[in-house]
């Protein structure tokens, strides 16, 4: 059933979207740390 797969897919899309925000914030932090280290 299409709805079944849509539901499972939606679940993982939502989780991946959230994890992406975490990873992106992490990357930005890493850059800031490098800036601090450079000074």
Partner 1 sequence: MKKAFPILGLLTAGLLTYALYQALVVAPTEQTMGDVQRIFYYHVPSAWTAFLLFSINFLASVWYLLRRNPVADMVAVTTAEVGVAFCTVVLVTGPLWARPVWGIWWTWDLRLTSTLVLWLIYVSYLVLRRFSSSGQTPVLAAALAVFGALDVPLVYFSIWFFRTQHPQPVIGGGGSIDPRMLHVLLINWLAFLCFAFLVCWSRYRLEALWREVEEVQALEALAETGSDRR
Residues that bind partner 1 (CB under 8 A): 1, 3-4, 6-8, 10-11, 14-15, 18-19, 22, 25-26, 29, 32-33, 36, 39
| Alpha carbons 26 and 18: distance in angstroms, whole number | 13
CA 25, CA 32: separation in Å to the nearest integer?
11
Residue 1 is classified by DSSP as -
Q: How far is the CB of 5 from partner 1 (least distance, A)?
A: 9
Question: What is the 8-class DSSP label of residue 28?
Answer: H
Instruction: Write down the least CB distance from residue 34 to partner 1, Å.
Output: 11
CB of 25: closest distance to partner 1 in angstroms? 6
């Amino acid at each position: 059933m299409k709805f079944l797969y849509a539901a499972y897919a939606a679940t993982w899309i939502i989780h991946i979207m959230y994890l992406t925000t975490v990873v992106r914030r992490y990357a930005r932090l890493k850059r800031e740390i490098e800036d601090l280290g450079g000074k």
